[in-house]
Amino acid sequence: MSLSATKFVHPITTPPSTRSSDKPLFSTFFGSNHTKLRFNKPIVAAQRRSSSAASTSSPVVAVSDVVKEKKLKSTSNLLITKEEGLVLYEDMILGRFFEDMCAQMYYRGKMFGFVHLYNGQEAVSTGFIKFLKKEDYVVSTYRDHVHALSKGVPAREVMSELFGKATGCCRGQGGSMHMFSKQYNLLGGFAFIGEGIPVATGAAFSSKYRREVLKEPGADEVTLAFFGDGTCNNGQFYECLNMAALWKLPIVFVVENNLWAIGMSHLRATSDPQIWKKGPAFGMPGIHVDGMDVLKVREVAKEAIERARRGEGPTLVECETYRFRGHSLADPDELRDPAEKAHYAGRDPITALKKYLFDNKLASEQELKAIDKKIEELLDDAVEFADESPLPPRSQLLENVFADPKGFGIGPDGKYRCEDPKFTQGTAHV
Amino acid sequence: MATLFQGLPSSTAFSSSNKFNHAPAPTSFSGTWNNERKSSIVTVRSDARWSPVLNSATHKPQRLITNAVATKADSSLASTSSKPGHELLLFEALREGLEEEMERDPCVCVMGEDVGHYGGSYKVTKGLATKFGDLRVLDTPIAENSFTGMGIGAAMTGLRPIIEGMNMGFLLLAFNQISNNCGMLHYTSGGQFKIPAVIRGPGGVGRQLGAEHSQRLESYFQSIPGIQMVACSTPYNAKGLMKAAIRSENPVILFEHVLLYNLKDRIPDEEYVLSLEEAEMVRPGEHVTILTYSRMRYHVMQAAKTLVNKGYDPEVIDIRSLKPFDLHTIGKSVKKTHRVLIVEECMRTGGIGASLTAAITENFNDDLDAPIVCLSSQDVPTPYAGTLEEWTVVQPAQIVTAVEQLCQ
Same domain, B145 and B173: yes
Same domain, B100 and B178: yes
Query: Which domain CATH number covers B375?
Result: 3.40.50.920
Determine, yes or no, domain membership for B376. Answer: yes
What does the DSSP 8-state code read for residue B343?
E
Chain A contact present for B191, CB below 8 A: yes
Average pLDDT for A155-167: 96
Right CATH for A76-388 from 3.40.718.10, 3.40.50.10070, 3.30.565.10, 3.40.50.970: 3.40.50.970
Catalytic option among B186, B213, B257, B299: B213
Q: How far apart are CA B362 and CA B342, in angstroms?
A: 16
Contact A256, A193 (CB under 8 A): no
Q: How far apart are CA B200 and CA B105, in angstroms?
A: 19
Determine, yes or no, domain membership for B188. Answer: yes
* Host domain of residue B387: 280-407
**Partners of residue A171 in chain B, C-beta under 8 Å:** 190-191
Determine, yes or no, domain membership for B189. Answer: yes
Q: How many CA atoms lie within 13 A of B127 on its CB side?
A: 8
Neighbours of B310 (CB within 10 A): 10
Final residue in a domain of this structure, among B240, B268, B296: B268
Q: Measured on CA atoms in the order A357, A358, A363, A368, is the torsion positive or negative?
A: positive
Taking only the tens place, the pLDDT of each residue in A206-245 is 999 999 999 998 889 999 999 999 999 999 999 999 999 9
Beta-bridged to residue A211, according to DSSP, are none
Same domain, B171 and B303: no
Query: Which domain CATH number covers B246?
Result: 3.40.50.970
Strand segments, DSSP code E, in B185-298 are: 198-203, 228-231, 252-257, 264-267, 272-274, 280-283, 288-292
Domain parsing of chain A, residue ranges: 76-388, 397-424
Same domain, B257 and B297: no
Same domain, B260 and B329: no
Residue B287 is a catalytic residue: no
Q: How far apart are CA A86 and CA B333, in angstroms?
A: 71
Q: For residue A110, give how far its alpha carbon lies from the nearest alpha carbon of chain B (Å).
A: 20
Same domain, B225 and B260: yes
Cβ contact (<8 Å) for A404 and B278? no
Final residue in a domain of this structure, among B210, B233, B268: B268
Determine, yes or no, domain membership for B38. Answer: no
**Partners of residue B147 in chain A, C-beta under 8 Å:** 198, 239, 243
Amino acid at A21: S
Quick one: which of A335, A328, A238 has its CA closest to A278?
A238
Same domain, B213 and B92: yes
Beta-bridged to residue A226, according to DSSP, are A254
Final residue in a domain of this structure, among B268, B292, B311: B268
The total domain count for chain B is 2
Determine, yes or no, domain membership for B8. Answer: no
Residue B213 is a catalytic residue: yes
Cβ contact (<8 Å) for A192 and B149? no
Give, for all 408 residues of chain B, the pLDDT tens digit: 444 433 334 333 333 333 433 333 333 333 333 333 444 444 555 443 433 333 334 444 334 444 444 333 434 444 445 578 999 999 999 999 999 999 999 999 999 999 999 999 999 999 999 999 999 999 999 999 999 999 999 999 999 999 999 999 999 999 999 999 999 999 999 999 999 999 999 999 999 999 999 999 999 999 999 999 999 999 999 999 999 999 999 999 999 999 999 999 999 999 999 999 999 999 999 999 999 999 999 999 999 999 999 999 999 999 999 999 999 999 999 999 999 999 999 999 999 999 999 999 999 999 999 999 999 999 999 999 999 999 999 999 999 999 999 998
Q: How many CB pairs under 8 A join A and B?
A: 205
Determine, yes or no, domain membership for B301. Answer: yes
DSSP H or E run through A290: strand A286-290
> How buried is A62 (Cβ within 10 angstroms: 0-12 exposed, 13-18 middle, 19+ buried)?
buried
Same domain, B287 and B188: no
Please give the full DSSP string across A90-152, using - where no structure is assigned.
Answer: HHHHHHHHHHHHHHHHHHTTSS-S-----TT-HHHHHHHHTT--TTSEEE--S--HHHHHHHT
Chain A contact present for B154, CB below 8 A: yes
Same domain, B99 and B241: yes
**Partners of residue A190 in chain B, C-beta under 8 Å:** 180-181
Q: How far is CA B279 from CA A78, A241, B109, B233, in A?
A: 70, 43, 28, 12
pLDDT given at position B45: 53
Quick one: which of B200, B239, B331 has its CA closest to B20?
B239
Cβ contact (<8 Å) for B189 and A178? yes
pLDDT given at position A381: 97
Same domain, B323 and B252: no
Same domain, B191 and B334: no
